Structure 1
Amino acid sequence: MSIAESTPTPRHIPVALSSASVYPLSVHDAFAVAADLGFDGVEVMVTNNSTSQKADELVHLAERYEQPIVSIHAPTLLLTQQVWGSAWNKISQSCRMALDVGCDTVVVHPPFRWQGSYAETFSQGVRDLAEAFGVHIAVENMYPWRVRGRETLAYLPHWDPIGQGYQDITWDFSHAATARMDSLAALKALGDSIRHVHLTDGSGRSFRDEHLVPGQGTQRVGECLAHLAGNGFEGAVVAEISTRKARGAGDREHLLAQTLDFARTHLGQQAGVEAV
């Protein structure tokens, strides 16, 4: 057998679009933009928008635009406190939806310290739910809250997933910049527990979560993607940039096309389609 025949073909890492990247446009718009630009799929962030909460409507959009759903982002933001009831129910419902739409990854944020028993039992609880539903519950890295320059302990067990014993982790480069972390060092430390990536960037100059186009901040995003591509990464890379200041659809699609091309380039894939 030749060397070429014995060498496994590198996995194609899907580059998907988060529905959060087209906010304040709709989930429908996210699928349409993803198809137009040549993304490999969509991550649906469950919000107050009714379509984001209905598996049958999401499946219809995925089939119409030929954009598979790669992940469900549970409604764990402060703005979605009324969606799907209690904290544990939010995650359970997200796991059910993931199965209903044909994906196996659910993104969640670590609990706030004031969420009582949910926060205290979170690490074991997500492990139990992941096993029960047969999905990956990927806990996202966050960042410290700061008031007048002083750090406030907002998350339990911590905003930093390193050392918390999570089986699966989502890495967000903007959050890392706000926390003033070195993403490349963190990815190497976390190893195979990295299941999912939110592709973005941040300057780290303030306490704001910026969600810049990758390459416009201080994180070594390109090196991180190359590292993942060369180390058997089994998840998806999801563009999650802020396009709220875009003046129109053309500007928004240009920013998203830049993000897609950045991913393709640094993952060693063919460049995507640029917006005109």
Structure 2
Amino acid sequence: MSTDVEHSEEDIPSIPVALSSASVYPLSVHDAFAVAQDLGYDGVEVMVTNNATSQNPDALIQLSHRYDQQIVSIHAPTLLLTQQVWGPAWNKIEMSCQMAREVGCNTVVVHPPFRWQSNYAENFAAGVREIAAMYQVHIAVENMYPWRVRGREALAYLPHWDPVGQDYDDVTWDFSHAATAGANSLEAVRALGSKLRHVHLTDGSGSGKDEHLIPGYGTQRCAEVLQHLALSGFEGAVVAEISTRKAKAAGEREEWLAETLRFARQHLGAPLVGAFEI
């Protein structure tokens, strides 16, 4: 069953579109703020890495003021490449939450535990909830994807790579990870409902690689998901997290990031022509 509903521009909430500092890698966090301002983004997500600036709340506040870009979220150093940053897993999350409060944002993005972090994984959902309450922030657990070894799926994350159905209060949805996992983002976002706190806007072809393509260049239903968010009372942020490492020509990185911003604004600002299934 479907229904047609007309919406005026006033009915559609303004959802901020921010730029992840990961989108300018291998450039610096400083460059992320500068590019975000130049292109007209609404803010920046800071991914905590080995880079000293990404770990320094005072430096981040200075960049935020200098480039008039609010910090919308902190991405905790829970990636494989950042295992040495900020020590043990729980310490990474607590320090990320503390920094979020210091820089004036209320969302922290974390990955689920790796399977070899068994003690950490055992009480992960409860621990995340406790720390989120302690610091008064949203800790949004990100969807990941199964690892494949010699064509077979390997258990890489606990309790699961898919946050749908897990005992989390807040979730981050990443389209590239969804493509790698073979997931349907529109179905997942609908299933998550109010648990969806944060979105990493990107895309993937479903090749099995975590590609982080420009939205619209892969197989995920990015446009429909953004349109759904615009009409569903979504209160979080949409963050561009595409890979620009292969950019070669002058200005190519900025062109890709500008295209991603246009895509986001177009589909967040325009109501669906059709209707939702009920």
Q: TM-score, normalised by structure 2?
A: 0.93
Matched, 1:194 2:196: yes
Tell me, in whole angstroms, the C-alpha distance in 2 between the residues paired with 1:134 and 1:52: 21
Secondary structure class of the residue paired with 2:117: helix
Structure 2 CA distance, aligned partners of 1:231 and 1:9? 11
* 2:253 partner amino acid: R
Cα deviation, 1:83-128, whole Å, max 9, x if unaligned, reads 1111000000000000000000000000001102101110111011
* 53, 61, 72: which one aligns with 1:70: 72
Cα deviation for residue 82 of structure 1 reads 1.2
- Give the aligned partner of residue 46 of structure 1: 48
Q: 2:129 aligns with which of 112, 127, 130?
A: 127
Structure 2 residue 158 is the aligned partner of structure 1 residue 156: yes
**Corresponding residue of 1:266:** 267
Q: Deviations over 1:47-85 (max 9, x none)?
A: 000000000000000000000000000000111111111
| 1-structure distance, mates of 2:249, 2:90 | 38
Q: 2: distance between equivalents of 1:231 and 1:164?
A: 21
Name the residue aligned to 1:37. 39
What is residue 100 of structure 2 aligned with on the other side? 98
Q: Which amino acid in structure 1 is aligned with residue 55 of structure 2?
A: Q
User: 1:247 aligns to what SS in structure 2?
Assistant: coil
Counterpart code for 1:230: L
Q: CA deviation at 1:161?
A: 0.3
Instruction: Write out per-residue CA displacement over residues 115-142 of structure 1, whole angstroms, 9 at most, x where no aligned residue.
Output: 0210111011101100111000000000
Please say which of residues 77-86 and 26-35 is displaced more in the overlay. 77-86
Shift of 1:223: 0.2
SS in 2 for 1:114: coil
Match of 1:3 in 2: none
1:3-14 aligned at under 5 Å gives the runs: 9-14=11-16
Paired amino acid for 2:265: R
Shift of 1:10: 3.1
Q: Distance in 1 between matches of 2:264 and 2:11?
A: 19
Percent identity (aligned): 74
Deviation at 1:9, TM superposition (A): 4.5
Structure 1 counterpart of 2:234, which letter? F
Deviations 1:119-173 (A, max 9, x none): 1110111011001110000000000000011000010000000111110000000
Matching residue of 2:208: 207
1:86 corresponding residue in structure 2 = 88
Gapped regions of structure 1 (runs ≥ 5): 1-6, 270-276
* C-alpha displacement of 1:248: 4.1
**What is the DSSP-based 3-state SS (H/G/I as helix, E as strand, rest coil) of the residue aligned with 1:113?**
coil
- For residues 87 and 172 of structure 2, the distance between their equivalents in structure 1, rounded to whole angstroms, comes to 24
For 2:251, give the aligned amino acid: G
TM-score, normalised via structure 1 length: 0.93
What does residue 274 of structure 1 align with? none
| Matched residue, 2:248 | 247
The structure-2 alpha-carbon separation of the partners of 1:215 and 1:199, relative to structure 1 and needing over 3 Å to count, comes to same
Look up the SS of the partner of 2:109 in the other structure: strand
Shift of 1:11: 2.1
Give the secondary-structure state (helix, strand or coil) at the position aligned to 2:251: helix
Distance 1:237 1:249, change over 3 A: farther
Distance in 1, matches of 2:10 and 2:17, equals 21
Runs of 4+ in 1 over 4 A off after TM superposition: none
2: CA distance, partners of 1:8 / 1:246: 38
Judge which range, 248-257 or 126-135, deviates more. Answer: 248-257
Task: Work out whether residues 12 and 269 of structure 2, in 8 Å CA contact, stay in contact via their aligned partners in 1.
Answer: no
Larger relative CO (CA 8 A, sep 6+): 1 or 2? 2
Q: Distance in 2 between matches of 1:184 and 1:208?
A: 20
Distance of 2:209 and 2:11 partners within structure 1 = 40
2:223 corresponds in structure 1 to: 222
**Cα 1:43/1:144, change in 2 over 3 Å:** same
